[in-house]
């Protein structure tokens, strides 16, 4: 098994210790890392092969494409300003950078001066600002700015009853980290249970 990533290191934005722990776990489980050259094509004739930007081909019986966030194709038809990455461009007030009463939040938005990873923890915290600004807009009041938090708790399940906790440089690979992840995830999902 192999993970192919165009980045030169796995888990950008995580602590060096988390990266070390994940790399070690992958190696122990026989998973090779192939880093530093992005995949540009996937050929599906016979056994699949990945074509890398450096010209290398990697043969595979099965390819699971798990890429990071990218702008939805539907955005191409929107005549609204976009960031260099192709997401909708928004001010810190979550309003489009165009002079229009259009508000944008979540992964579809790149917010000027507040570029953050495409992670749910940021989108969830944009919601109250979005709601407040919609009400303020219709009341003719000044809009408030979204201010992203600095860092967030990351919990990565290892599939064996342990997890890697990464928070502001602190890392723990343990069963209690998995217990915490399980408790948080179940609590979150419980909010959406139909009764």
What are the CA-CA distances from residue 75 to residues 70, 80, 81, 114, 161 (Å)?
A: 11, 9, 10, 21, 40
Query: What are 33's two structure tokens?
Result: 């890392």
CATH number listed for the domain at residues 73-138: 3.50.50.60
Neighbours of 65 (CB within 10 A): 7
pTM: 0.73
* Per-residue pLDDT reduced to its tens digit, 133-179: 999 999 999 999 999 988 789 999 999 999 999 998 899 999 999 99
* In the chain, where the domains are located: 73-138
Provide the pLDDT for residue 151.
79
**DSSP category for residue 147:** -
Report angle CA 15, 21, 22 to the nearest 5 degrees.
Answer: 90
* Per-residue pLDDT reduced to its tens digit, 56-103: 999 888 888 887 788 888 888 889 999 999 999 999 999 999 989 999
């Amino acid at each position: 098994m192999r993970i192919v990533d165009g980045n030169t290191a796995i888990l950008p934005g995580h602590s060096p210790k988390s990266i070390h722990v994940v790399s070690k776990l992958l190696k122990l489980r026989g998973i090779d890392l192939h880093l530093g050259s992005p995949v540009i094509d996937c050929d599906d004739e016979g056994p699949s092969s990945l074509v890398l930007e450096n010209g290398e081909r990697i043969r595979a019986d099965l390819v699971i494409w798990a890429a990071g966030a990218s702008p939805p194709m539907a955005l191409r038809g929107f005549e609204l300003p976009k960031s260099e990455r192709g997401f909708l461009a928004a001010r810190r007030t979550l309003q489009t950078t165009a002079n229009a009463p259009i508000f944008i939040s979540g992964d579809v938005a790149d917010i000027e001066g507040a570029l953050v990873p495409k992670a749910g923890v940021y989108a969830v915290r944009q919601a109250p600002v979005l709601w407040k600004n919609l009400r303020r807009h219709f009341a003719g009041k000044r809009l408030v700015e979204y201010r992203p938090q600095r860092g967030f708790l990351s919990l990565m399940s290892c599939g064996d009853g342990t997890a890697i906790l990464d928070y502001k440089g602190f890392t723990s690979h343990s069963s209690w980290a998995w217990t915490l992840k399980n408790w948080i995830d179940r609590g979150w999902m419980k909010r959406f249970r139909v009764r």
